[in-house]
A and B are shown apart, each in its own frame.
Chain A
């Protein structure tokens, strides 16, 4: 009997702690997460940027994937029309990871 009531007392704080940890998990913020607007980075004056600056490095880190994706798109645009159609056909069937 005593053990049962003790376990009830213990269960409440454990539940509260578990819920609070879950509430502050970064995954919780993913539902309405914005995507980085990497196009804005392309419009910036790169000659004035210090590539060793942590802010610059962080932005590059964030936009690297996006930029590679654009380069691939450009490359595929300049490829032969037949190949191009084939690729776009595939893309239409399977949603891209980087839809904007």
Chain B
């Protein structure tokens, strides 16, 4: 009697699983999900993707060793120039509140002049930023800079990001301008 009941329960579970998989597959192939960047995800999808992203980055970046000299002026100068060339279009610079990229990308790139790219301890934030710059984030518009930039250069950008929210537009201009000097040094 009990064996028969549990058997029918298993059958029922199997049937539900098959139905869910079939329904999911049908939805995937139907093309009903809006894929345009101008239509936001529903809350459940957004939460799932965000949680997946944050947990994945936290796990992958946890063991990175942060250089002790991240507050050196040389790192600021080198990282600043790269930030201006590679990142400012999406992540903005002091005095700018939006760009075509911040308006059009989904999810919108964080405004790094306001430090709104996630909290955590200083060390965790440095590790997270390094990992994201180096490896990028799938389907977000954030490229992996690792293939063309060595780790030192990426740590320089992390160093610059630490001070970016405090900079005035004038300070930013001086720190990020490559000018003649860097041409001579490189």
Contacts and interface: CB of A to CB of B under 8 A. Distances in A.
Interface residues on A, range: 20 to 34
Contact of B183 (A33, A40, A41, A62): A33
Interface in B155-184: 163, 166-167, 170-171, 173-183
Nearest to B147: A20
Interface stretch (A2-10, A22-30, A74-82): A22-30
**Interface of chain A, helix or strand or loop or mixed?**
helix
B148 A24 contact: yes
A59 B166 CA distance: 14
Interface stretch (B69-77, B121-129, B133-141): B69-77
Contacts of A65: 181
A95 interface: no
A10 B175 CA distance: 41
B36 to A, nearest CB: 30
Contacts of B145: 24
A37 B171 CA distance: 9
B182 A26 contact: yes
Contact of B170 (A33, A44, A58): A44
A37 B183 contact: no
B173 A36 contact: yes
Nearest to B82: A26
Nearest to B176: A34
A37 B172 CA distance: 10
